[in-house]
Amino acid sequence: MAASMLPKLDREPPICGIPLDLLRHMSSVGERKRRQPTSGKAGINAHEGAGQHPEVIFGGSLGVSSMMIGFPLLMWFMWIGAAHYDGAIPSEPDMTWIEYGEHLFSLVYQHAYPGRKAWLIYWTFLLAQAFMYVNLPGGVYSKGKPLPHEGGKQITYYCNGVTSFYTSIAVTCALHTTGIFPIDTIIDEFGPLLSVSIISGTLVAIVAYISAMLRGRQHRMTGHIIYDFFMGAELNPRFGDWLDFKMFFMVRLPWFTLFFLSAATAAKQYEEYGYMSAEVLFVVMAHFLYANACCKGEEMIVVTWDIFYEKWGFMLIFWNMSGVPLSYCHCTLFLAYHDPATYAWSPTYLFVLYSSYIFMYWVWDTSMSQRTFFRAQERGHHQHRNTFPQLPWRHVKNPQKIETPTGDSLLVDGWFKHARKIPYTCDIYFAIAWGAVTGFRSPFPWFYPVFFTVMVLHRAYRDIERCRAKYGKYWAEYERRVPYLLIPVSPFEMSNR
């Protein structure tokens, strides 16, 4: 559908059929009010320009406290259901609430105790990835967005995720085939690894916060210690010249771990049953494609919201060290803990799942490539990388755009003439597909699709508000040209058909 053919809307375009006013209300729980920032020694408090104060979201200190307590408990709870209740929600109707709590605690203590072996596996992997990040060749250098609070300085990032990923696969295969470290060990040790990751994520967040405060590197602080701990104190923490903590923790720990958990399930299934089911191979394919894409487009990440705006606090640290790899993996755990005969799908269902996933991956990969190539062309420093896979329509020649006085143009061509957040659409589909391959016997594989969709809607709203403030009338024109956010069909149009 050509951009010029898109109809005008009389109201703000909804997100997934949810009116923007409702999203605005959801995002403002606990007072979305501006607070006076507290300056650190370096005096580096800025939003994207001078004079702007940090906003308080997620319900403030009370909301983030609930998340910091609730998420680890939820992760243990879901693991108990997956491992000890055949994928069902843990239920003991004959127990009192106190007895029930003691029962759950005993299961964690007996089967998820963070023993020496789990600590060794987790931190060996983490340190090995850090070593590869700093030392392996084959990377490219990419500059981040200008930092207003540092006079427009652009930080240079070393991006060798592709080399690190394939080296990790080769080393893991060697360790598995020689018997030094069978990869399915991480499935057998999942409970202890879960506990280690939760403890590690919390401890690293504490160290990061204290370190930033002691060094005077705090940025955009609200003065509320619990909230600031959750959101983070430092914007761009580094060790040495190239080990950028946000970049390192964002790709290698969560997505490499998720892929290796799926590969471990395939190895375990082959060892126990003599074959690998199509369902397990699907999640191996899905998680490989996702991890590989994060690596091959690593230089794109340096200009994303998480890198240039979000600070390195509990939210990013815990979620990358524990939340993403060990809660998004419940589709894998369901397949690992059940006989493949109990979840075998028909060839037709599997064909639809595989083919639709590959199609959506093509859309996702090429849409991000189009946007990144467009931005790089504007800045005059595009680097072509001959990484796998090279897909058709990854670039748009002479793209249509809306020029703005900020120096950033708004792309209204390629995939982005149809909807403004096409990559989000694909991400939501991926999450649903990861749950769909397991069926509906267990609710836990569906945690990720539900959680991720809510998170994306919240992030989309934050991005819309920020861009409206930044671009003004140019963003209004952009929304007129591309009125759809996720899919190029309005729910109002669908209801009239």
pLDDT digits (tens, 9 = 90+) for 447-470: 999 999 999 998 898 889 989 999
Reply yes or no: is the peptide bond before residue 192 cis, omega within 30 of 0.
no
Average pLDDT for 399-419 = 92
Q: 50 pLDDT exceeds 70?
A: no
pLDDT band with cut points at 50, 70 and 90 for residue 490? low
Distance of CA 69 to the CA centre of its chain: 20
The rounded distance, in Å, linking the Cα atoms of 184 and 176 is: 9
pLDDT score, position 9 = 39
3-12, 242-251, 271-280 — which one is most confidently predicted on average?
Answer: 271-280
∠295-299-305 over CA atoms, to 5°? Answer: 105
pLDDT band with cut points at 50, 70 and 90 for residue 275? very high
pLDDT score, position 48 = 43
∠363-367-372 over CA atoms, to 5°? Answer: 155
pTM of the entire predicted model:
0.86
The rounded distance, in Å, linking the Cα atoms of 194 and 200 is: 10
Q: 395 pLDDT exceeds 90?
A: no
Q: 26 pLDDT exceeds 80?
A: no
Q: 34 pLDDT exceeds 70?
A: no
Q: Which helix (H) or strand (E) holds 194?
A: helix 190-214
The rounded distance, in Å, linking the Cα atoms of 34 and 53 is: 6
- Do residues 240 and 324 make contact, with C-beta atoms less than 8 angstroms apart? no
pLDDT score, position 172 = 98
Query: Which of 326, 342, 360 lies closest to 439, judged by CA?
Result: 342
Average pLDDT for 69-89 = 98
The rounded distance, in Å, linking the Cα atoms of 155 and 375 is: 17
Q: 25 pLDDT exceeds 60?
A: no
The rounded distance, in Å, linking the Cα atoms of 158 and 140 is: 6
DSSP assignment of 51-87, as one string?
T---B--TTHHHHHHHHHHHHHHHHHHHHHHHHHSTT
Average pLDDT for 227-250 = 93
Reply yes or no: is the peptide bond before residue 389 cis, omega within 30 of 0.
yes
Average pLDDT for 241-257 = 92
Tokens of 97: 């609430």
Average pLDDT for 105-115 = 98
pLDDT score, position 376 = 77
Collapsing DSSP to helix, strand or coil, 420 comes out as coil
- Do residues 125 and 248 make contact, with C-beta atoms less than 8 angstroms apart? no
Q: 243 pLDDT exceeds 50?
A: yes
Tokens of 263: 């590969």
Average pLDDT for 268-290 = 97
- Do residues 311 and 235 make contact, with C-beta atoms less than 8 angstroms apart? yes
Q: 245 pLDDT exceeds 80?
A: yes
191-227 pLDDT, tens digit each: 999 999 999 999 999 999 999 999 999 999 999 999 9
- Do residues 288 and 259 make contact, with C-beta atoms less than 8 angstroms apart? yes
pLDDT score, position 445 = 98
pLDDT score, position 28 = 43
Distance of CA 182 to the CA centre of its chain: 28
Average pLDDT for 482-489 = 89
The rounded distance, in Å, linking the Cα atoms of 211 and 233 is: 9
Average per-residue pLDDT in the chain?
87
3 vs 103, higher pLDDT: 103
In 380-446, which residue ranges form alpha helices assigned H by DSSP?
422-436
Q: 32 pLDDT exceeds 70?
A: no
Q: 13 pLDDT exceeds 90?
A: no
pLDDT band with cut points at 50, 70 and 90 for residue 497? very low
Start-to-end CA distance of the chain, whole Å, equals 18
Q: 110 pLDDT exceeds 90?
A: yes
Q: Which residues contact 397 (CB under 8 A, 6 or more apart)?
A: none
In 342-421, which residue ranges form alpha helices assigned H by DSSP?
347-379
pLDDT band with cut points at 50, 70 and 90 for residue 406? confident
Q: Which helix (H) or strand (E) holds 245?
A: helix 245-251
Average pLDDT for 67-90 = 98
Q: 15 pLDDT exceeds 60?
A: no
Exposure string for 300-325, b = 16+ CB within 10 A, e = fewer: bbbbeebbbeebbbbbbbbbbbbbbb
Altogether, the residues listed in the chain come to a count of 497
127-159 pLDDT, tens digit each: 999 999 999 998 888 888 888 888 888 899 999
pLDDT score, position 476 = 95
Q: Which of 49-53, 201-205, 362-366, 489-493 has the lowest mean pLDDT?
A: 49-53
pLDDT score, position 301 = 87
pLDDT score, position 381 = 67
pLDDT score, position 291 = 97
pLDDT score, position 240 = 86
pLDDT band with cut points at 50, 70 and 90 for residue 42? very low
Distance of CA 111 to the CA centre of its chain: 28
